[in-house]
Amino acid sequence: MLILSLFRHAKSAWGDASSGDFERPLAARGEAAAPLMGRWMADHGLIPDIVLSSPSARTRATCALAFGSLGAPPVIRFEDAQLSPMQRSFYSECKRLRVDRLHEELGVTLAYPTFREGLAAIHAGEQPFVQP
């Protein structure tokens, strides 16, 4: 069965004015949380076969900390991913996924449409994903 997991970078250091958005590092809280995120995925059998990631500093650091000790494959940076020109254009233009448009245009209904609802479900002990 194919499972698509969306994994957001850990908490970044917004207070670091010396770097731009692309170079923004993880905050100390993010550095502590990323390995826990990877361990949680491993404990739930969600070790990815492939990781497509933004090449930004915070996403590279999150992936290294989350998957580095779990035997996951190396991160494939965006520039290195084997994408067609159309796919590359699509990903470069995607800034944010709107849940309402996802439902309207694709008929997809998310089990947990917001970050907070997903966290509440995990806290309540629910499975954070839906299997067909």
What digits encode the pLDDT tens for the residues 75-132? 777 666 666 777 767 666 665 566 677 778 778 777 777 767 777 777 787 765 554 4
pTM: 0.59
Q: Which domains does the chain have, with CATH numbers?
A: 1-83 (3.40.50.1240), 96-127 (no CATH)
Q: Could you read off the pLDDT of 42-53 as tens digits, one per residue?
A: 888 888 888 888
Structure tokens at 88: 């590359």
Q: Which two tokens stand for residue 60?
A: 């590279």
- Assess contact for 50 and 83: CB atoms under 8 A: no
The span from the CA of 78 to the CA of 29, in Å, is 25
pLDDT given at position 13? 86
Label residue 8 by pLDDT band (50, 70, 90): confident
Residue 28 · residue 60 · CB < 8 Å = no
Task: State the distance between the two ends of the chain, measured CA to CA, in whole angstroms.
Answer: 9
